Amino acid sequence: MSNAPEAPAHTAPHPFHLVQPSPWPAMGALAAFVLAFGAVQWFHGSPPYILIAGFLLVLVTMFVWWKDVVHEAQVEKVHTTVVRHGLRVGMGLFIASEVMFFVAFFWAFFNAGLLVNPSVKQWPPANIEPLETWGIPFLNTLILLSSGLAVNWAHHALRHSDRSGLKRGLALAVCLGLLFLSLQGYEYIHSPFGFREGVFPSVFYMATGFHGFHVFVGVCFLSVNFFRALAGDFTAEQHVGFEAAAWYWHFVDVVWIFLFVWVYWWGS
């Protein structure tokens, strides 16, 4: 018989985290289906009730799922070094998958813009008046890059245990993100072309609108981190949730630079 002391009953014999059964993945899948179905119905002229219901269901899923993850980290203390590494790898792979979405949109744009598509003879088409590059698009570029600097400020403050700087940086980043979305909405409302007026408007709205949705998700992500910072979460040594939000926000920044250069500037 071994004389080695037994581990306490509450201590796992490995550094990994075996999560408890959760309803949120299934709820998230349902929310995504309702949102997509509602969007398709809305595009075909139906009232946006299903779309709104799906959108609200997505928000609820985000809230309850993130709440459970925060509880695992702050209360259960199960986010070991190995678990945190896995979360970082998972976030990196998620961002890589998002890059592929935008690669598809950019290829659709270049397929027409470089006249590879034989049905396109002129770019932009003669009936399309492109948006002014150095107006709202350029202003939004400055706003989004400034928000990235604000996130870096918050990260630097967190790593040096400056709670005040962390909160201010996050608050500034959230406000700049909301300002970006407001200006993009204004740009859409006053755009000289509609979504169904040809390949240029379709690709333009899909690429910039999909990016705008990512900005919205990033604002939600940063807002969660802001309220967590107010609650005293995060330490200089352990802040994977903040890192994930920062990575996502910088990804949004980089995609916008490509959109501004190729879609707004070169594309016009």
Same domain for 219 and 132: yes
pLDDT digits (tens, 9 = 90+) for 106-164: 998 888 888 777 777 778 877 788 888 899 999 999 999 999 999 999 999 999 999 99
Same domain for 86 and 72: no
The structure tokens 């070169």 sit at 266
Angle between helices 199-230 and 81-113 (to 10 degrees): 160
Largest CA distance in the chain: 87
Judged against a pLDDT cut of 80, whether residue 56 lies above it is answered with yes
Q: What is residue 158's predicted lDDT score, i.e. its pLDDT?
A: 94
CA R_g for the chain: 22
Residue closest to 207 by CA, chosen among 264, 164, 144: 264
Same domain for 144 and 237: yes
Helix (H, G, I), strand (E, B) or coil at 20: coil
pTM equals: 0.85
Same domain for 183 and 226: yes
Q: What is residue 103's predicted lDDT score, i.e. its pLDDT?
A: 93
Q: Which of 66-70, 101-105, 148-152 has the lowest mean pLDDT?
A: 66-70
As to burial, measured by CB atoms within 10 angstroms (0-12 exposed, 13-18 middle, 19+ buried), residue 101 is: middle
CATH of the domain at 215: 1.20.120.80
Q: Which of 87-96, 99-108, 192-201 has the lowest mean pLDDT?
A: 192-201
Judged against a pLDDT cut of 50, whether residue 2 lies above it is answered with no
Same domain for 177 and 115: yes
Same domain for 244 and 137: yes
| Sign of the four-CA dihedral 203, 205, 208, 210 | negative
Judged against a pLDDT cut of 60, whether residue 182 lies above it is answered with yes
Within-domain flag for 1: no
- Residue 75, CB half-sphere, CA atoms under 13 Å: how many? 6
Return the structure tokens found at 186.
Answer: 């204004």
In the chain, helix, strand, coil percent, each to 5? 70, 0, 30
Same domain for 163 and 41: no
Q: What is residue 222's predicted lDDT score, i.e. its pLDDT?
A: 96
Within-domain flag for 173: yes
Written as one letter, the residue type at 169 is: G
Quote the percentage of the chain above a pLDDT of 90: 59
Is 65 or 197 the better-scoring residue by pLDDT? Answer: 65
Interval 92-96 mean pLDDT: 96
Q: What is residue 8's predicted lDDT score, i.e. its pLDDT?
A: 42
Same domain for 111 and 167: yes
Q: pLDDT-based confidence at 11, cuts 50/70/90? A: low
Q: Which of 81-95, 114-128, 178-192 has the lowest mean pLDDT?
A: 114-128
Q: pLDDT-based confidence at 7, cuts 50/70/90? A: very low
Q: What is residue 12's predicted lDDT score, i.e. its pLDDT?
A: 64
Written as one letter, the residue type at 88 is: R
Question: Which residues contact residue 118 at a Cβ distance below 8 angstroms, ignoring those fewer than 6 apart?
Answer: none
Same domain for 150 and 59: no
Within-domain flag for 12: no
Within-domain flag for 4: no
CA distance 26 to 72: 20
Which residue, 78, 107, 142, sits at the end of a domain?
Answer: 78
Within-domain flag for 48: yes
Judged against a pLDDT cut of 90, whether residue 176 lies above it is answered with yes
CATH of the domain at 72: 1.10.287.70
Within-domain flag for 178: yes
As to burial, measured by CB atoms within 10 angstroms (0-12 exposed, 13-18 middle, 19+ buried), residue 52 is: middle
Same domain for 72 and 116: no
Cβ contact 251:98 at 8 Å: yes
**What is the tally of structural domains in the chain?**
2
The boundaries of the domain holding residue 187 are: 81-266
Cβ contact 81:15 at 8 Å: yes
CA distance 87 to 131: 40
Same domain for 173 and 72: no
Written as one letter, the residue type at 87 is: L
Please, what is the average pLDDT of the chain?
Answer: 89
Same domain for 235 and 222: yes
Within-domain flag for 194: yes
Helix (H) or strand (E) holding 260: none
CA distance 132 to 109: 18
Judged against a pLDDT cut of 50, whether residue 254 lies above it is answered with yes
pLDDT digits (tens, 9 = 90+) for 29-52: 999 999 999 999 998 989 999 999
Within-domain flag for 10: no
Q: What is residue 9's predicted lDDT score, i.e. its pLDDT?
A: 41
Cβ contact 248:88 at 8 Å: no
